[in-house]
Amino acid sequence: MTDKLEGTARTDALATLAQDGWTEVEGRDAITKTYTFKNFVEAFGWMTRAAIWAEKLGHHPEWSNVYKTVEVVLTSHDAGGLTEKDVKLAGKFDGLV
């Protein structure tokens, strides 16, 4: 199990993530981002590539897709909140755009 991010590590991670458009989820220890693509095929293609990274890292997102929009929420359920796994997966997802 991975430990929750706390203190300076958490503050620094959230500040870096915010620069890339990630925000904290109100009422949860989680982060979220909405990706918008040109069309459904591009959105679904991104989700497929993202799913491969999620599987490689053994960390799976909460997400939904409507047409060209993908909403992603990341949290580590086993740790009860935000961990380094979430930060790493967020970076991988952003790199796929």
Q: What is the mean pLDDT of residues 12-24?
A: 96
**How many domains does the chain fold into?**
1
CA dist., res. 24 & res. 46, Å (int)? 22
> Is residue 51 in a domain?
yes
| Paired tokens of 76 | 């580590």
CA separation, residue 88 to residues 38, 39, 56 (Å): 25, 26, 12
Q: What is the pLDDT of residue 1?
A: 62
Per-residue pLDDT at 96 exceeds 70:
yes
Task: Note whether residue 49 is domain-resident.
Answer: yes
**What CATH code is carried by the domain that includes residue 68?**
3.30.1360.20
Assigned domain for 30 exists: yes
Q: Is residue 2 part of a domain?
A: no
- Domain range holding 90? 7-95
Percent of the chain scored above 90 by pLDDT?
97
